[in-house]
Amino acid sequence: MNPTNNIVCESFGWHGEKEIFKFQITNSHGNYVELINYGAIVKSIVVSDKVGNKENVVLGFPTLEGYVKDQSYIGATVGRFANRISNAVFPIENKIYHLDKNDGKNNNHSGSAGFNNKVFDFIVEEDAVIFSLESKNGEGGFPGNLKTKVTYKWTDQNELKIEFLAEADESTPLNFTNHSYFNLSACQDKIVNHRLSVKASKILESTADYIPTGKIIPADGYLFLNNRLADIMQEKGLNLYYVLDRDSVNEKPVCELLEEKSGRMMRVYTSYPGVQLYTGDYLNCNIVGEHNKLYSSFDGLCLECQYYPDSPNHEHFPNTIFQSGQVYQETIIYAFDVIQ
C-alpha cells in the first residue's frame, strides 16, 4: 500500500457518448503521473531533475483531441497483440485467422481491435487506478471474448508500476505493452544524446518491414552499453526487438536511460522476455503536444516490454497463445531517479 498517494479524477472531455476522465496520482515528493481512460493512456510523468525542476518526461497532449487524432500510439496501452503479425494471419491448431492489414500487408498493434483508441472502464483504489475493457469475439479478426485489466500504481520511489491481466474464453494470441515515448530532457532536446543500456546481447533479425525472420542473432553493432543513441543510430531510426539476457524474471533493471544535462535516469524492470526499442523516427503530429510543440522524429523513444513480435507464426518463439481460462499476467515498471 502507498497511502501517501493522492489520486484526483476530473473530466477530460467526451468521446462519442462516453465521458473521458483524467486521473492524477501524486506521491509524497510532489511528483505525479496523469492517466486517461481513453486508451488507458499515460498522459504525463512529472519528475524532478538534478536541481529540483519538475517536468513531464513523456510525450502527450493537453486535450483529448490530440489523442483521438494521434497515429503514433502516444502513451497508449497496446493490445490485444502488440507489434506486428506477418501477412495479418496466424494459425491456432488447424484454423487460420485473418486480421486487419493496417501496416502494408501486415497487422500492427491489432488494427481496428487495438486498445489504443478504446474507452476503458475504471476503478480508483487507494493506491491504484485500474482500467478494464472487454473485447468481443471476432473483433479485428481475433478469436475469443477477452476481459483485460490494466493497473497503474505510482509509488513514493517514483516508480510507475503497470500490470496487465487478461483472460479469454477461447484460445487467442495476447501481447500487451505500454507505448509511452520518453524524453528525459522534457523535450528541451531530441533523444539523440540520451545514454541507453539494454541487458541484451541478442536481437531478432527482421525484414525491412520489421517482421522477424525467425532468427535470433547477436546484437553486435546494436549493443547498448551506456551508449549515446546517436552513436548507435548513425542518423537512422531504430526499431529493434532485444531478447533479454536472463533465464528467469529477476529484480535487476533490463534497461537504463540517462539524460546527462537534467541528471534524470529511468530504469525499466519487466516480467517480459524482451523489449522493442523504437526511436520515434515516424513521429509526425499535427496537434501541439504537452511541451508546446508539434512532435516530430526523435522527440521521444519507446521501450516497449513485450513478447516477441509475430510470435504466433514462429513455433520456437515464446508461446503467446493463451488457452480458454488461462490467465495472462505481466508487469512493466518505469522507475525514475536523479544522478548528480
How far apart CA 297 and CA 191 sit, in angstroms, is 10
Residue recorded with cell 515498471: 333
Selection from 311, 315, 329, 325 nearest residue 170 by Cα: 325
Find the distance separating the first CA and the last CA of the chain, reported in whole Å: 30
Instruction: Let me know if 304 is a catalytic residue.
Output: yes
How far apart CA 93 and CA 83 sit, in angstroms, is 22
How far apart CA 313 and CA 87 sit, in angstroms, is 10
Is there a contact between 339 and 115 (Cβ–Cβ < 8 Å)?
A: no
* Cis amide prior to 80 (ω within 30 degrees): yes
Task: Return the number of other C-beta atoms located less than 10 Å from residue 132's C-beta.
Answer: 16
Is there a contact between 273 and 307 (Cβ–Cβ < 8 Å)?
A: yes
**Three-class DSSP category at 293:** coil
**Three-class DSSP category at 88:** helix
C-alpha distances in angstroms, 184 versus 23, 47, 194, 266, 301?
22, 9, 8, 8, 10
Instruction: Let me know if 29 is a catalytic residue.
Output: no
Q: Which of these is catalytic: 139, 163, 167, 304?
A: 304
Q: Provide the H-helix boundaries in the chain.
A: 64-69, 229-233
According to DSSP, residue 327 is labeled P
Q: Which of these is catalytic: 179, 256, 290, 330?
A: 179
Cell of 254: 533490463
Cell of 78: 497496446
According to DSSP, residue 209 is labeled T
Residue at 302: amino acid letter? C
Residues marked active site are found at 179, 304
